[in-house]
Structure 1
Amino acid sequence: MLDIQYIRSHPDIVKKAVADKLLNSDIDRLLEVDRRIRETTAAVDRLRAERNKLSRNMSGEARTAREAAGVRGRAIKTKLAALEEGLAGLKREYDGLMLTVPSIPAPEVPLGKGEADNVEIRRWGTLPRFDFAPRDHMAIAEGLDLVDVPRAVKFAGSRSYFLKNEGVLLEMAICRFVLDQLIAKGFTPVTVPLMVKESAMLGTGYFPLGYEQAYRIPEDELFLIGTSEVSLVSYHRNEVLNLEELPRRYAGYSTCFRREAGTYGKDTRGLYRVHQFQKVEQVVIGRADDAEAERLHYEILGNTEAILQALELPYRVALACTGEIGLGQVRKHEVETWMPSRNGYCETHSCSTLNDFQARRSGIRYRDEDGTLRYVYTLNNTGIASPRILIPLLEIYQNEDGSVTVPRVLRPYLNQREKIGPKPR
């Protein structure tokens, strides 16, 4: 959500952001509603002032004057009721329109419509070469009895799965490794509520555009989160934070849920696109300072790269174009890890700066050095998401005999185990 003063002063910049992000936001209508609200509010204030003046003077007036004042008072009451009803409707429309206004992309964000227009920044690592016919992650996992999809699908539906045996331990090891890495860098580990109110989804910008991707619990008017970012940003909802405590760094560990609406028939085999997954999320809350936000963005992006390098998984970093960065993002980098079975780099992490977009919606502020109240800036980036990260890990570390070598950095979390091998028959 942008400051309405900024929208009034820079309508062309905001309209360009709407067009560049391929969104549908009627800025002209918003400004018209905003103007009518201000005019109607002024008219309401004038009538209320007149009504109050009449009330104060009634007792000292002659009978005829009191009668005239009464007639005028009733007319004011009728007029006020109509104006206030209209004003309430205008404010509802205004609130809805404001929720559709995007953040302004940073200057370095490339213009584009889709993933093909993202700009590659760098690559790291050497792509694996096999001297045997490599298997995909499902063949590997099923051969090692690490996953069972058919039994999950028969009672939980498509895109469901069981992790089993060392598959469970491997996922836990990866998540714990990432948490330890982030804790060492000053992040506070947090487990979060998985069910939240609509206000939390609106406050973090996942609604109104993302309703179709969220699971709803109508009896309790709650929604399942698709990322712990929702809960971690909402943690400080309607608070005024201390300047000395900024930036705050959180590592959220949670199960996440996404309906994957609109992906029918896409990525149906394997663990790439599932409804339920585990994730460690980086969330940072900082001062309203563009330079600091940019520094923090590259800090959390660097954390992700350090994690993938420690796991020795080849990846590339791409700067997302305007059509890919979404409603609230000012800048976004996507980190894509090499997946042999897909013969390409595929998204495993997403690093975003949102400036005060979420803070305005969620009412999160701090008091600056001069005492001025300002909205905080928020940033987020994936620490790790599983089971998607299991795809490159299993495929890159596979051996000809069907076993999988455990990455060195994960061995301390698996009792120094070096390999996961087939079960004895």
Structure 2
Amino acid sequence: MIDARLLRDDPDRVRAAQAKRGLSAEVVDRALSADADRRAAIASYEAKRAEQKRLGGQVAKAQGEEKQELLGQTRALAAEVKEAEAARVAAEEAWNDAVLSIPNPAADEAPEGGEDDYVVLETVGTKPEFDFTPRDHVELGAMLGAFDLERGAKVSGSRFYFLTGIGARLHRALVTMAMDMAAANGFTEVVAPALVKSRAMEGTGFLGQAADDVYRIEGQDLYLVGTSEVPLAAFHSDEILPADSLPQRYAAFSSCFRKEAGSHGKDTRGIFRVHWFDKVEMFVYTTVEESFAEHQRLLAWEKEFMDALELHYRVIDVAAGDLGTSAQRKFDCEAWIASQERFRELTSTSNCTDFQARRLDIRTRAGSSGETTPVATLNGTLCSTNRPIIALLETHQQADGSVRVPQALQPYLGGLEVLEPLA
């Protein structure tokens, strides 16, 4: 959540941040009003509790009629205390509802606008050229026996699939290469649970604007994660991290599940936009001051992975209106998809500053005073298995339907240099 002091001391900045995302500033006024009501309710409750304790002390010393009179006052005051406590709880809930609905203010550097208002920061490599009509990944996958869409739909429904043969091997190779690269860069390897409690989902901002895209287990306080960012963010919830332990970097493998709400009719062919995929996610705990440089490092590691796959790609600075609730700034790496003749997102990295840490109560001790402050959290996709497979097949395809294997990936496929179509 945002810093309450920022809301109180500089509400115009929060209003401007809402406008930059294309959101109403009404919630800011509602939160300010709720904050005033909450503080008033707390003061009223504490005053009545103090009076109740004072009367209790007098009752213990009093006798006769005086004691009876004081007991009558105590009973009346007890009812007022109970009423004041209920008012305090209601005011706290109203405050939480309001403040939790305010997203992280976007960075000044983030472009203003919506999905189409990104800024291209860099374009890397050369667009692949073919002296034949290039096939899309669905046709190539069929020729290679890499995945089975029809049986995926039969077994699980639309937007599901089986990876088979070389497709399953590619999945394993990409995950292993990504984990090896993360480990070489100092990340602690993690295999993360794909089911989490609501605290983790809410703490990372996935029960706000993204709630419609989340699978919930009916009758239980459990959700299927759409990214291992969620369990990794909650990993250190309610903890104080030693300052000398920062940054703490984790790379987690997990299965991810998304309803893809709002995507009806979009990317219905193939395995680009699906309900299930596996992913290697980088996650970092650091200080807010260091988070901006760490964000650049995460982007550099993502680019290193894209370069290893020998892909043509661009890096974009995502506009404020297209940021998730928790992100202050976000960079996407988009690979060129030949059959679509456009760039599509393969990886992204977000700096969430102290937004998630405030919700999940993750702090560190600052300076010699021993005072605790919220840490910053950052996340970055190193490899989501379905989309790199698409980019690899379409970028490195050859006229006969075979696919050249990038040199960095060959050791993870037993030295295989070319993926050959089935006979």
Under a length normalisation based on structure 1, what TM-score does the superposition of the two structures give?
0.97
Tell me which residue corresponds to 1:74.
75
Taking the aligned partners of 1:239 and 1:382, their CA distance within structure 2 comes to 25
2:331 corresponds, among 323, 330, 333, to 333
Taking the aligned partners of 1:301 and 1:286, their CA distance within structure 2 comes to 16
SS of the residue corresponding to residue 94 of structure 2 reads: helix
Taking the aligned partners of 2:293 and 2:49, their CA distance within structure 1 comes to 51
> Is contact 2:45–2:88 with CA below 8 Å preserved after alignment?
no
Superposition deviation, residue 38 in structure 1: 1.1
SS of the residue corresponding to residue 342 of structure 1 reads: coil
Tell me which residue corresponds to 1:242.
242
Q: Which runs of 5+ in 2 are unaligned?
A: none
Taking the aligned partners of 1:326 and 1:204, their CA distance within structure 2 comes to 10
SS of the residue corresponding to residue 8 of structure 1 reads: helix
Tell me which residue corresponds to 1:380.
379
Taking the aligned partners of 1:357 and 1:310, their CA distance within structure 2 comes to 33
Taking the aligned partners of 1:125 and 1:164, their CA distance within structure 2 comes to 30
> Is contact 2:283–2:380 with CA below 8 Å preserved after alignment?
yes
Pairs aligned (count): 421
Please report the RMSD computed on the Cα atoms of aligned residues, expressed in angstroms.
Answer: 1.2
Tell me which residue corresponds to 1:28.
29
Tell me which residue corresponds to 2:11.
11
Taking the aligned partners of 1:220 and 1:71, their CA distance within structure 2 comes to 46
Superposition deviation, residue 81 in structure 1: 1.7
Superposition deviation, residue 22 in structure 1: 2.7
Amino acid at match of 1:63: G
Superposition deviation, residue 62 in structure 1: 4.7
Task: Describe the superposition over 1:139-180 as per-residue Cα deviations: whole angstroms up to 9, x where unpaired.
Answer: 000011111101111221100111100111011111111111
Identical columns (%):
38
Task: Describe the superposition over 1:229-272 as per-residue Cα deviations: whole angstroms up to 9, x where unpaired.
Answer: 11111110111111111001111111111010111111100111
Tell me which residue corresponds to 2:208.
208
Amino acid at match of 1:357: F
Taking the aligned partners of 2:49 and 2:115, their CA distance within structure 1 comes to 55
Superposition deviation, residue 314 in structure 1: 0.6
Amino acid at match of 1:90: A
Tell me which residue corresponds to 2:406.
407
Under a length normalisation based on structure 2, what TM-score does the superposition of the two structures give?
0.97
Superposition deviation, residue 288 in structure 1: 2.8
Tell me which residue corresponds to 1:150.
150
Report which stretch shifted further, 191-200 or 85-94.
Answer: 85-94
Q: Which runs of 5+ in 1 are unaligned?
A: none
Taking the aligned partners of 1:102 and 1:189, their CA distance within structure 2 comes to 30
Taking the aligned partners of 2:226 and 2:159, their CA distance within structure 1 comes to 15
Taking the aligned partners of 2:134 and 2:41, their CA distance within structure 1 comes to 70
Tell me which residue corresponds to 2:223.
223
Superposition deviation, residue 98 in structure 1: 1.6
SS of the residue corresponding to residue 277 of structure 2 reads: strand
Tell me which residue corresponds to 1:192.
192
Q: Residue 314 in 1 paired to residue 288 in 2?
A: no
> Is contact 1:21–1:327 with CA below 8 Å preserved after alignment?
no
Amino acid at match of 1:372: E
Superposition deviation, residue 101 in structure 1: 1.4
Tell me which residue corresponds to 2:105.
104
Q: Residue 350 in 1 paired to residue 351 in 2?
A: no
Taking the aligned partners of 1:61 and 1:225, their CA distance within structure 2 comes to 61
SS of the residue corresponding to residue 272 of structure 2 reads: coil
Amino acid at match of 1:160: F
> Is contact 1:288–1:377 with CA below 8 Å preserved after alignment?
yes
Taking the aligned partners of 1:133 and 1:61, their CA distance within structure 2 comes to 99
Task: Describe the superposition over 1:171-216 as per-residue Cα deviations: whole angstroms up to 9, x where unpaired.
Answer: 1111111111111110111000110001100111111222211111
Tell me which residue corresponds to 1:423.
422
1:211-290 matches, cutoff 5 A: 211-289=211-289
Tell me which residue corresponds to 1:161.
161
Q: Residue 89 in 1 paired to residue 90 in 2?
A: yes
